[in-house]
Amino acid sequence: MATISRTKATLRIAGDALMPEEVSKMLGVAPTSAQRKGQDLRGASGVSRIAKFGMWRFQAAEASPGDLDAQVQEILGQLTDDMAIWDRISALYDVDLFCGWFMKAENEGMEISANTLRALGARGIELSLDIYSGDGDKPICNSDDSDTPQSGR
């Protein structure tokens, strides 16, 4: 099995009452991007929409070839190691690591180390995957929407 061609990874923290500044203070770093519920958001196309919930995002550098272990280290290495803070965040908000896996050919894959899985699990971070085939990056497996929180806490 060939290694997956390219990966993207973003830590997402979402919730109705989420205030990005509070999450930044707890985690010790500014987000890559953030929004508050009710905020007017304008996309690259110029179309405007109102945010249905708050979200704090922290993105790792794209990896080619794919290397999710390194991306998780990059993200978590910049955030607090205080598990009490992570317990509070995961109790208040929906937390996931949203990953895009991009293949150039069929039958590419990747291993995720036990250490990476433990680090995510200890912090209450779910793993969400979008996997794109080598056929024009058409989704094979989609999440509903990359901006949709999982449970609506």
Instruction: For residue 139, give both structure tokens.
Output: 């989704």
Q: What is the pLDDT of residue 137?
A: 46
Q: For the segment 123-153, what is each residue's pLDDT rounded down to a tens digit?
A: 999 999 998 887 654 544 433 344 544 444 4
What CA dihedral angle connects 62, 87, 81 and 35, to 10 degrees? Answer: 40
Half-sphere exposure of 135 (CA within 13 A, CB side): 6
Helices (H) and strands (E) in the chain, counts: 4, 10
Q: What is the pLDDT of residue 141?
A: 46
Residues of the chain with pLDDT under 50: 137, 139-146, 148-153
The answer to whether position 85 is within a domain reads yes
Domain range enclosing 136: 2-141
Q: What is the pLDDT of residue 107?
A: 80
Q: What is the pLDDT of residue 20?
A: 97
DSSP state of 27: H
The answer to whether position 153 is within a domain reads no
Q: Quick one: which of 10, 34, 150, 18 has its CA closest to 89?
A: 18
The answer to whether position 146 is within a domain reads no
Contact 139, 130 (CB under 8 A): yes
Contact 35, 54 (CB under 8 A): yes
The answer to whether position 19 is within a domain reads yes
The position carrying tokens 């290694």 is 3
Contact 78, 87 (CB under 8 A): no
Give the CA angle between residues 30, 95, 16 to the nearest 5°. 80
pTM across the whole model: 0.83
Q: What is the pLDDT of residue 44?
A: 84
Q: What is the pLDDT of residue 153?
A: 44
The answer to whether position 133 is within a domain reads yes
Q: What is the pLDDT of residue 60?
A: 97
The answer to whether position 59 is within a domain reads yes
If one counts the domains in the chain, the total is 1
The answer to whether position 151 is within a domain reads no
Q: What is the pLDDT of residue 111?
A: 87
The answer to whether position 148 is within a domain reads no
Dihedral class, residue 105 (left if φ above 0, else alpha if ψ from -120 to 50, else beta): beta
